[in-house]
A and B are shown apart, each in its own frame.
Chain A
């Protein structure tokens, strides 16, 4: 059964439990970071951060502060373009588990040439793949495939205290997402589900992606 996430940004408090739990579960070492005038740190996804919470602040039309949080990760596309591109060079470098819908970057990504790596990276509509210089692997969120295959939710979902993240069978998650959207629209009339028909990780956004992150949604 294909799996899916709902990430309801209207419930996220940016506690970053998901961001840190992801590192812990995957045994990823810490980066040396600097304060640059933002809470968003590390500033971007990198081989040691497969999930980060992005922060965006602005004033709305009435002058009220709006602070949006976007826990960014691979969308696990139903038809992953990254896989199509990689398949042309190294079949098996990127695979999609038909049963769960999890898209995985395998060790064979090390066989991709620098040009192939660039092609895969450029192809992603969400700016997700990152190249690990040390291992020469392409890396990204693996939806905690080890946990999911053992019947556990991904660790980021497990960590979320507010129920911003919901994980389960695709149809059920989409049903939940539609219900949430209906409710959320009472407060945020412009709310929408980002690319719900094409991805396994569906974001509920309160307003246009320009108020979150340029790659927050494709459509």
Chain B
């Protein structure tokens, strides 16, 4: 979230899209209802009418996978009605930047496309720069190649008719949303966008979110109270685990994964330290070498020295361009290229797409280690239905894992708040927390290396590794220490003392931090700030529900990111009633600002608002993503639509896919699979249900796999409510109970009726008679940037079943 949960109440319009907030984040609805009480309009755009829709002012059904068409239509509406916030665009976004002559867009393809590699040469999308490297700007916004006009031209194709024809949303409903949301383009109004996996789990997932960023920047809704782009994280600590490099392509604190082409730290820093020609651009990532050196120092301690590149050479390097996502790993497992591994905190045999492939793949492992609360479809894959365990070779080590309430530590919530939790009870039996599994395991390996030797022992032996795990100590390590006596202002910090803020982190080995974003969370002066529960605030903070002394928030306790864009050039809030920060002539008051510098109007000391971008401006046009500098509508990898009105490029030209015999994707408009399937979770079960299916009172509320379908489709197929049905895709077959409902309705797409059905993915065979993985149907096609699979849209058919074997 750019903002935070409580802040939702400040919105004048709440657009919930790609999220079923009421069902998946029940407590957040407290703040959405408060916004409603204050007069905000709550809108839910989603394929299905859900519990979220029931509490919204209105629901707009949308064919799954057409979000960019819908949002592109809103961008076009903003230009047509001139609803944009022009002052904001000029001062805070790259609307005025000229794009270089290498950029073009033609019939669904951006310039630089190579069909053989299915990839773009992104260098041709670069901005036009002057001799010193500074972007060329046209403050009159009249140049045909300025971002403002490129955007306007690009989205002019997103007419109401084209959008309606594609999305299946009536023109009347499109206008209903566009009008209400675009009314927040005024300086004193704010609209928030709440999204979740409904946007990310598409072959155009990253671009769905980019499209929302375009809208929020055009309307001046970033940095303000009640605005922002707010990812509702689907698990209590997704934010924290992402910050700490759960993902394969980065290190803690969003530092790139070292690659083969960067053999030395200097190589790495050269390519990962942006340089700006603008003197008033903070270009925060120019500090990256300090954060990386401090990370290495945190990992290797006294072994890390400037002379040895802080042990950078000991880090494994990814092959250049190689994708190490879980989808790729499972493909390697399928092809027998991996012998064993650890699967922790995920149940891939239920939750990954194309589960039939995943289940066969796992059989190829010689050994597997899992840590779980309960046996799962993954731990017990070797004895799954239809398989003779004697024919499966995998040796499984199933470690009993402690539950969340059986361990202490921190989580980072969606609003980036770092919250400490205590251990409520001791783990039962032999169960241990992950850390109490990992720390001794690494120590055992270290001992083996010490005593028996082996290939390349240094990475493990040189690690700054504890004997046992202590959550408090780890929180201190994450914050970071001084490794040499250091004077900060009038205070001398001794070696071993905590670093007070990330501004004090250095590239010379005198500081460590396991994640620079969290430096300042645990200090000598204030202790462990994740434990703070002090509701005190100033009247200005109270007006927007900002609690600076309650827990702690990265970065530097800033509750609303990019808040310097909430004020005019002189530092006066655009909305004085809901001011986030204000320049009082000497300093900023309110939230922690994006840096202490005076307002932008101060030509000597003022700084640009968007400190995380190289040139200080928010990126309407962004040359960084692999599938284009502007979001463009493409159909899902599997679609009932053979062509759409925006271009002849039906699906994304760069989405990732696999080529094994198990990775089939139906042709567009394959008559065998005419129905769109979307999948989701639900309130009563958590994600794949591996935990909650083992909680009897929850299983009682949602006991078995169902498929939600319209009365119209049910009639067509001779299906009655409560009937058993069989759902088939080109990849698999699943049984479910039909739930025939008015909450799903057929879409009219280019004059043709298209049906959509929805299924939860919470059920698996280890819970008797409840049904088995919905993901046996879903597709192994992925976003080119993130490798997140397209779990939200694929194509199926449905028939009534006389007899069910998976559900009883």
Contact = CB atoms under 8 A, between A and B. Distances in A.
Interface of A: 11, 13-17, 19-20, 23-24, 29-39, 41-42, 57-59, 64-69, 161-163, 183, 187
Closest CB pairs A-B (n = 8): A30-B696, A37-B722, A37-B721, A35-B704, A15-B26, A13-B22, A67-B54, A35-B737
**A interface, over-half SS:** loop
Contact of B743 (A30, A33, A67, A69): A67
Nearest to B54: A67
B696 A65 contact: no
A83 B29 CA distance: 39
29 contacts: A11-B55, A13-B23, A13-B52, A14-B51, A14-B54, A15-B22, A17-B26, A19-B701, A20-B697, A20-B698, A20-B701, A30-B699, A33-B700, A34-B704, A35-B737, A37-B721, A37-B722, A37-B739, A37-B740, A38-B721, A41-B700, A41-B703, A59-B742, A65-B742, A67-B49, A68-B54, A161-B30, A162-B29, A163-B33
Contacts of A39: 702, 739
**Which of A16, A58, A64 counts the most chain B CB atoms within 10 A?**
A16
B701 A41 contact: yes
B59 interface: yes
Nearest to A58: B742
Given A30-B697, A162-B33, A36 B737 contact: yes
Nearest to A23: B697
A17 B49 CA distance: 20
B722 A13 contact: no
Contacts of A32: 700, 703
Given A13-B22, A20-B698, A37-B706, A57 B741 contact: yes
A67 B700 contact: no
Given A17-B26, A23-B697, A41 B683 contact: no
A131 B233 CA distance: 43
Interface residues of B, number: 41
Contacts of B52: 13
Given A13-B26, A35-B737, A57-B742, 17 more contacts: A11-B33, A11-B55, A14-B51, A14-B54, A20-B697, A29-B696, A35-B703, A35-B704, A36-B721, A37-B706, A37-B738, A39-B702, A59-B742, A65-B743, A68-B54, A163-B30, A183-B37
B27 interface: yes
Nearest to B770: A35
A66 B59 CA distance: 10
Contacts of B705: 35
B351 interface: no
Contacts of A35: 702-706, 722, 737, 739, 807
Contacts of B739: 35, 37-39
A74 B59 CA distance: 33
B377 to A, nearest CB: 19
Contacts of B742: 57-59, 65
B722 A161 contact: no
B29 A24 contact: no
A137 B217 CA distance: 63
A68 B51 CA distance: 9
B53 interface: yes
Nearest to A20: B697
Contacts of B55: 11, 13, 162
Contacts of A65: 49, 53, 59, 742-743
B138 interface: no
Contacts of A33: 699-701, 703
Contact of A161 (B26, B54, B59, B696): B26
B770 to A, nearest CB: 9
Contacts of A24: 697
Given A11-B55, A162-B30, A41 B740 contact: no
B51 A67 contact: yes
B684 interface: yes
A17 B26 CA distance: 9
A68 B57 CA distance: 14
Nearest to A13: B22
B49 A30 contact: no
B718 to A, nearest CB: 15
A69 B54 contact: yes
Contact of B54 (A13, A31, A34, A37): A13
Nearest to B28: A161
A59 B699 CA distance: 30
A23 to B, nearest CB: 5
A68 B27 CA distance: 19
A37 B737 contact: yes
B542 to A, nearest CB: 20
Interface string B342-354: 0000000000000
A24 B697 CA distance: 8
Given A13-B51, A57-B742, A162-B29, A30 B700 contact: yes
Contacts of A16: 683-684, 701
Interface in B728-772: 737-743
Contacts of A69: 51, 54
A100 B55 CA distance: 33
